[in-house]
Structures are given as structure tokens and as C-alpha cells.
Amino acid sequence: MSAACRTDQRSNRTRSRSRSRSRSRSRSRTALLTAGAAVAALALSACGSGGTSGGSGNTNFVAGKDGIATVAKGERADAPDLSGKTVDGKQLDVADYKGKVVVLNVWGSWCPPCRAEAPNFVKVAKDTADQGVQFVGINTRDASTSLAKAFEEEQGVTYPSLYDPTGKLMLRFKKGTLNPQAIPSTLIIDRDGKIAARTLQALSEANLRKMLAPVIAEK
């Protein structure tokens, strides 16, 4: 074999190895980008505008306008046991409010939509207190109660919130009722302790009142 042929063969092998390394680097970059996109999507879903479904499960919710779903009075499920320590370190059991309409709001101090809707909840809570309505929060994913307390003080929240940093209380609800990734979320519990309405997104004052009014009017 001539020296020129041997040179050409070495050159071809070098180019082949170079192309292989290039393809390997390209696949690695693609994998990293895909993984990064998945992480970003998960981070965004942890605090956003929520959605219209909390997963599968026969919960009898009927979707309506503005992301508010309701359940007919005769088809409602009981709210689960929702008891424990509050952000202030006191003991609270939502079942003690049976006979009142309970507005249950899931929130976190780390969540911008929660911050946006907080003034609406504060105002409506004050306006409806004499109509037999009790607001209760479930604070989730805050690493310490001090973060939740600072949020409450800043927003003027006076109603209690159960401290649920790991989301255990949310998992007590029947499958399909809440989506742990949809923060904030709000449920209306009727006077009999049953779940009457739900939304998996931040609420304006008008939508909060619209969601609450029919349950207050029930006899």
C-alpha cells in the first residue's frame, strides 16, 4: 500500500472519530436541555394559575365559567379531617366550624398568585363574617412558620391557617378534588361539612364572591 493511501486511511479514521465525538456531544446537549426544560416546567407548575382538573376521580364537580367548579347539594362529598397546628402554633380543627360556611384557601408565602389574591380574601372574610362564614387557610411548602407569619402580617390576614409544609393535609382529600401542584386553590365547604365548590387558581374579589354567595344562600 502506498504512503498516500495510508495517509488517506488515517485521515478518514480521524474524521470518523471526530464526527462520532460531535454526535455524542450533541446528544448530551439535547439531553441536558430536555432535562432542564422538564425541571423548569415543574417549577412553574408549583405556583401558577392552576387549572380545571385535580386528576381522575368521581368527585361530581361540574366545571363552570371562570374556572369555578360546583357540586349539587345532594352529591357532595364530606371534607376530610383537617386538623393540626396553625401558623400561630394553636390547635385547629375545621370540623369545629360545622354549621358555618367555610372558605378553605391553600396558599404559600413563596407564591406570587397567592400574594395577588390575598387582599381579596381579607376583604371578603371581613364582609361575610356576620353571615356565618369562616375563612381558613392551609399554608403549604413554607420552610418555617416565620415565613407564613410575615406574609399574614404584610397582607393583614387575621383568620387562621393550618401549617402544612409537606402537603399532607391536601392528600387527605378524595382523589380529583385538589391538585397538589395548583397553588393557590380554594374550596367552599357548606354548613354540613361537605365540599360545595372548588377552584384551582387565584381568585379576584368578584369571583370569590360569586363562588361563595350561592353556598351562603343555601338553607
Cα gap 178→170, rounded to integer Å: 7
**Model pTM?**
0.76
At 32 the pLDDT is 40
Tell me the pairing of strands 101-107 and 133-140.
parallel
Give all strands (DSSP E) within the chain, no chain letters: 62-63, 68-70, 83-85, 91-93, 101-107, 133-140, 161-164, 185-189, 195-199
At 130 the pLDDT is 97
At 59 the pLDDT is 83
C-alpha cell at 34: 430536555
Residue ranges, the chain, pLDDT below 50: 1-12, 14, 16, 18, 20, 22, 24-28, 30-46, 48-56
Cα gap 191→98, rounded to integer Å: 6
DSSP 19: H
- Beginning with the edge strand found earlier in the chain, give each strand of the sheet holding 68-70 in spatial order: 62-63, 68-70, 195-199, 185-189, 101-107, 133-140, 161-164
